[in-house]
Amino acid sequence: MRHTLPLAPQFYVTAPQPCPYLEGRMERKLFTALQGEHAETLNDALSHQGFRRSQNVLYRPSCSDCAACLSARIDVSKFTLTKSQKRTIRRNAHLARRATSPWATEDQFALFRRYLDTRHADGGMADMDVFEFAAMIEETPIRSRVIEYTDKDDHRLIGVALTDVINDGLSMVYSFFEPDLPRQSLGTYLILDHIEIAREAGLPYVYLGYWVPGSSKMGYKARFAGLEVFFGGKWQPIGDPERFDTARHPLSTDPIAEQVANISLPDTRNSGS
Condensed to tens digits (0 to 9), the pLDDT of residues 71-82 reads 999 999 999 999
pLDDT of amino acid 163: 98
Q: What is the pLDDT of residues 106-158, one digit of tens each?
A: 999 999 999 998 887 666 677 889 999 999 999 999 999 999 999 999 999 99
Mean per-residue pLDDT of the chain = 89
CA distances to 28, 117, 137, 255 from 18, in Å: 9, 20, 25, 21
Phi, psi of 76 (to 5 degrees): -60, -35
**% the chain with pLDDT above 70:** 90
Average pLDDT in the 250-259 region? 71
pLDDT of amino acid 246: 61
pLDDT band with cut points at 50, 70 and 90 for residue 252: low
pLDDT band with cut points at 50, 70 and 90 for residue 56: very high
pLDDT reading at 270 higher than 80: no
pLDDT reading at 162 higher than 80: yes
pLDDT reading at 245 higher than 70: no
pLDDT band with cut points at 50, 70 and 90 for residue 266: confident
pLDDT reading at 17 higher than 80: yes
Phi, psi of 114 (to 5 degrees): -60, -40
* DSSP assignment of the chain: ----PPP---EEEPPPEE-SSSTT-EE-EEEEE--STTHHHHHHHHHTTT-EEETTEEEEE--SSB---EEEEEEGGG----HHHHHHHHHTTTEEEEEE-S---HHHHHHHHHHHHHH-TTSTTTT--HHHHHHHHH--SS-EEEEEEEETTT--EEEEEEEEEETTEEEEEEEEE-TT-GGG-HHHHHHHHHHHHHHHHT--EEEEEEE-TT-TTTGGGGGSTTEEEEETTEEEE---GGG---B--GGGSPPHHHHHHTPPPP-------
Q: What is the pLDDT of residues 169-185, one digit of tens each?
A: 999 999 999 999 999 99
The residues facing 95 across adjacent strands are: 151
Query: How is the beta sheet containing 52-54 ordered, strand by strand?
Result: 11-13, 29-33, 57-61, 52-54
Q: What is the pLDDT of residues 74-115, one digit of tens each?
A: 999 999 999 999 999 999 999 999 999 999 999 999 999 999
pLDDT of amino acid 183: 92
The pTM is what? 0.90
Q: Is pLDDT larger for residue 4 or for residue 16?
A: 16
pLDDT reading at 271 higher than 50: no
Q: What is the pLDDT of residues 221-244, one digit of tens each?
A: 889 999 999 988 899 999 888 887
Q: Is pLDDT larger for residue 48 or for residue 9?
A: 48
What domains are there in the chain, each with its CATH number?
A: 11-69+246-261 (no CATH), 72-243 (3.40.630.30)
pLDDT of amino acid 5: 44
pLDDT band with cut points at 50, 70 and 90 for residue 3: very low
